[in-house]
Structure 1
Amino acid sequence: MPERLLVVEDSKPIAKVISQIGKALNFDVVVASSLAETEKILQGDSQFFAATIDYALPDAMDGEAIECVLSHGVPGIVITGKMDETTRQKILSQPVIDYIPKENSQAFLYLKRVLHWQRANQGSGVLVVDDSVAARSHIVELLKRRNFTTYVADNGVKALEILKQYPNIKMVITDLEMPEMDGITLTNEIRKHYHRDNLSVIGISGATSGVHSARFIKNGADDFLRKPFCPEEFYCRITQNIESLNNIEQIKRAANTDYLTELPNRRAFFHDANINIEKYRANHVPFALAMLDVDHFKRVNDQYGHEAGDHVLKAIALFLRKHIKSGIIARLGGEEFAILLAGIDKDQILTKLDDLRADISITPLSYNDQQLNINVSIGVCFNSTEELTQQINQADNALYYAKENGRNQLAVSGEDNE
């Protein structure tokens, strides 16, 4: 069931725009045009992910709908055409997600961002480091409104311990002045172990000197806030830093993923395989590297077209995901795939790989009302002491032997194959 969004808005054009935004984000949208209608909906069912709330309704001109929605446990984003300071303070005194002035079309783009991150933030951790209980509690409350999972520490030493325990932490918000380890020292220590591509750090301080912001940034922080800060600025900085981390993650994913099969690509395989093989050797864990190649792949392209060839490669990726649950798999290029397996003995590895080969050979692939019969050959090398490139060459030599001796079979490096 899709999550539901309640749109409380008396203007039909604005309600339509917000509804379109909600549907684009895969929400099931329910619209109410008055306070009375809102109350009726919520009394019947208050299971909504969030609500957008117009500040002034025909039967609730002074923000009464905000309290109504929040009292039913539904997080609310206030949409307002009133920009005076009194209205702003009245809205911010309530535990709303945010408020958005109806100034121009940017308001709706901002609303879409807020709704997107309200969902995306679930499961993302933020560590708040401050020796002031009141300051910690205030920041935690603001973060919880945005659906973050929060962790707290009252000094830098404890913060480093918590970071080791919870890998879901994506951001650290740290005060400057603290006992045992201050915020700048903490930031410096964090950057020794956590790259800024994976963890964002925001420094905060009530000190009036401008030098502290520069010190934080020079020691590895991504941003700085001076206390006391307004909720709007806090949320803008938090969202901006989370979006930056997300953009970096997407770029990394694109750079390390094969566009066709969505398997890891050659670059990702070399990176991950080298790291894992080093661990296997250090812990005396048996491992094997295998190369898989589609037999007579050129015939598929020549006879049925390159789209058919792409269909076959995608199918091979599905077979690999089905059979290799705890190894590393990748498309190295063309019709060639790599597999790294560890932790089981030689006979078990050979059985797993041959089951993969056999499953592919007996399963016809449907394409444009035709049945394609596909076979693969596999070459394997075990526990090689060589560098990864040499291991691939060893497995490739075994693969060549399998091809030369009839295809649709598995060959092991060093077993009279070269």
Structure 2
Amino acid sequence: MMNNLLVVEDNKAIASVIEHIGGSLGYRVTIAYSFAELKSLLVSHHDFFAATVDYSLPDAVDGQAIFHVLEHNIPCIVMTGKMNNAIHQKLLSLPIVDYLTKENSQAYHYLLRVLHGQLTNHEIGVLVVDDSLSVRSYVCNLLSRRNFTLYDVPDGTKALNALAMHPEIKLIITDQEMPGMNGIELVQAVRKQFVDRELVIVGYSGIDKPYQSARFIKSGADDYLQKPFCPEEFYCRVFKNIEKLQYIEEIKMAADMDYLTSLSNRRHFIEQLTEHFDELLVNNLEHLLIFIHVDDFKGINETFGHSGGDKVLVELAELLKKSIEPPYRARFGGAEFCCLISGSSLVKNREMVDKLTQAASALSFTLKERDMCFKITVGGAQMYEKSTVKTLLSQADAAFQKALSQGGNCTVIHDVQEEGR
């Protein structure tokens, strides 16, 4: 199914705003300006990913359009210009994605977030933990409207097993009263493995004790709900906590990534190499750490401007992405890159280096009506049983400096045999 968005709205200015919001997210938007137009449209078109529906239309003043859209199994976001207790209760009783009032511009910012979530929430695993099948089903039904990938288990022990099996789980929603391991004990166990910037936990309980929420939060939960909870409050709390986690991930990505090439930066590369170094030493592969530099990068900038230099760096980065598995590829700064090549033998790794240098030399493009091409210099060192991160980087850098001293456009690999190991 295409990401088709159905907009049911009689106000053409508002319909245009929603169309723009949908289009900015990649939706293909279809507008119905009346209930009659909606009914005619749905006779032959059913493949809508989501719909925004005005509560009151000139020919359907009391929400009839909402029911018609839901009957066609289309996820529905209700837009309303009026709100009272009766309308509020009616909307809460319906299996809609959400509702919002058309009061100010903030409503449309919220709509943007909801529509974006409908497209991306499937990437987020949510684990629901409750020994009551009916409550579990109810919570999962609420979350399914938001397109999350769902897992549900009846107790804390099974929750820990599910968490180990499904690394995509980023949110746990757990009851307190369960046999064996209760909710607070589950929170404590999870926090021994995952800090709050890695996984969100929301607890709830049917016991009305003033200390219950504090116990959950102090044990490591991010939020708490008192049962029975309002679906609207449930969505708001889930929404806010997921967004918090996404903001943290974005900040971490920005801290770890080179802004121009989207490769790892120097700090993150060395962190990853250090973290996994012992595993690399014993995984039955040969590893070769290489430094790469674009020859005469200063001349490229002088001839083609900084936009030309940036183009060269981006093209080389794309070549590295195609050739070398993450996370062991990085831009160290300026025109210098670093990668870890892994293969069945040192010979194979050196063949990969030769292929990289040849592929880089073959890259060419036009900038400012002039042909541009470049060459690279490579220096590297083989990892062996006595290597450390520090010695490997030092040996690769020494080989790299030797290659540069030879005028560039060459490859020098440090030979550990020369040092007698």
Counterparts in 2 of 1:215-294, with a 5 A limit?
215-294=215-294
Give the drift of 1:49: 1.3
Q: Which sits farther off after the overlay, 347-356 or 105-114?
A: 105-114
Residue 378 of structure 1 aligns to a residue whose secondary structure is strand
Partners in 2 of 1:15 and 1:361 — Cα distance? 52
Q: Which residue of 2 aligns with 1:320?
A: 320
Equivalent pair of 1:312/1:365 in contact (CA under 8 Å): no
Give the drift of 1:417: 8.5
Q: Which residue of 2 aligns with 1:203?
A: 203
In structure 1, list runs of 5 or more residues that go unmatched: none
Read off the aligned partner of 2:136 and give its amino acid letter: R
Q: Which residue of 1 aligns with 2:391?
A: 390
In structure 2, list runs of 5 or more residues that go unmatched: none
Question: 1:50-81: per-residue Cα shift (whole Å, max 9, x none)?
Answer: 11111122221221111110111111011123
Q: Say how many residue pairs are matched.
A: 418
Equivalent pair of 2:56/2:62 in contact (CA under 8 Å): yes
Equivalent pair of 1:327/1:342 in contact (CA under 8 Å): no
Q: Which residue of 1 aligns with 2:177?
A: 177
Q: Which residue of 2 aligns with 1:125?
A: 125
Give the drift of 1:380: 1.5
Residue 351 of structure 2 aligns to a residue whose secondary structure is helix
Counterparts in 2 of 1:297-336, with a 5 A limit?
297-325=297-325, 328-336=328-336
Question: 1:132-170: per-residue Cα shift (whole Å, max 9, x none)?
Answer: 111111100000001111111111000000001111111
Cα 1:395–1:214 shift into 2, 3 Å:
same
Q: Which residue of 1 aligns with 2:111?
A: 111
Give the drift of 1:284: 4.7
Equivalent pair of 2:375/2:409 in contact (CA under 8 Å): yes
Residue 210 of structure 1 aligns to a residue whose secondary structure is coil
Give the drift of 1:225: 0.6
Cα 1:415–1:113 shift into 2, 3 Å:
closer
Question: 1:248-295: per-residue Cα shift (whole Å, max 9, x none)?
Answer: 111011111111111111111011111222211244543221111112
Partners in 2 of 1:417 and 1:311 — Cα distance? 39
Partners in 2 of 1:14 and 1:192 — Cα distance? 49
Question: 1:330-364: per-residue Cα shift (whole Å, max 9, x none)?
Answer: 00011111011224210100000111011212333
Cα 1:41–1:307 shift into 2, 3 Å:
same
Read off the aligned partner of 1:402 and give its amino acid letter: A
Partners in 1 of 2:13 and 2:364 — Cα distance? 53
Cα 1:411–1:327 shift into 2, 3 Å:
farther
Read off the aligned partner of 2:411 and give its amino acid letter: L
Equivalent pair of 1:121/1:148 in contact (CA under 8 Å): yes
Give the drift of 1:88: 1.8
Backbone CA RMSD of aligned residues: 1.9
Cα 1:415–1:375 shift into 2, 3 Å:
farther
Read off the aligned partner of 1:397 and give its amino acid letter: A
Give the drift of 1:416: 8.6
Q: Which residue of 2 aligns with 1:368?
A: 368
Partners in 2 of 1:74 and 1:334 — Cα distance? 51
Q: TM-score, normalised by structure 1?
A: 0.95
Partners in 2 of 1:345 and 1:216 — Cα distance? 52
Residue 99 of structure 1 aligns to a residue whose secondary structure is strand
Equivalent pair of 2:285/2:345 in contact (CA under 8 Å): no
Partners in 2 of 1:357 and 1:174 — Cα distance? 54
Partners in 1 of 2:127 and 2:267 — Cα distance? 33
Q: Which residue of 1 aligns with 2:404?
A: 403
Partners in 2 of 1:226 and 1:373 — Cα distance? 64
Partners in 1 of 2:23 and 2:138 — Cα distance? 33
Residue 51 of structure 1 aligns to a residue whose secondary structure is strand
Give the drift of 1:327: 6.6
Cα 1:198–1:4 shift into 2, 3 Å:
same
Give the drift of 1:391: 1.4
Q: Which residue of 1 aligns with 2:27?
A: 27
Read off the aligned partner of 1:113 and give its amino acid letter: R
Q: Which sits farther off after the overlay, 117-126 or 364-373?
A: 364-373
Give the drift of 1:212: 0.9
Residue 305 of structure 1 aligns to a residue whose secondary structure is helix
Cα 1:326–1:249 shift into 2, 3 Å:
closer
Q: Would you say 1:57 and 2:57 are equivalent positions? A: yes
Equivalent pair of 2:80/2:101 in contact (CA under 8 Å): yes
Equivalent pair of 1:36/1:59 in contact (CA under 8 Å): yes
Partners in 1 of 2:133 and 2:141 — Cα distance? 12
Residue 37 of structure 1 aligns to a residue whose secondary structure is helix
Partners in 2 of 1:123 and 1:388 — Cα distance? 34
Give the drift of 1:326: 6.2
Give the drift of 1:403: 2.5
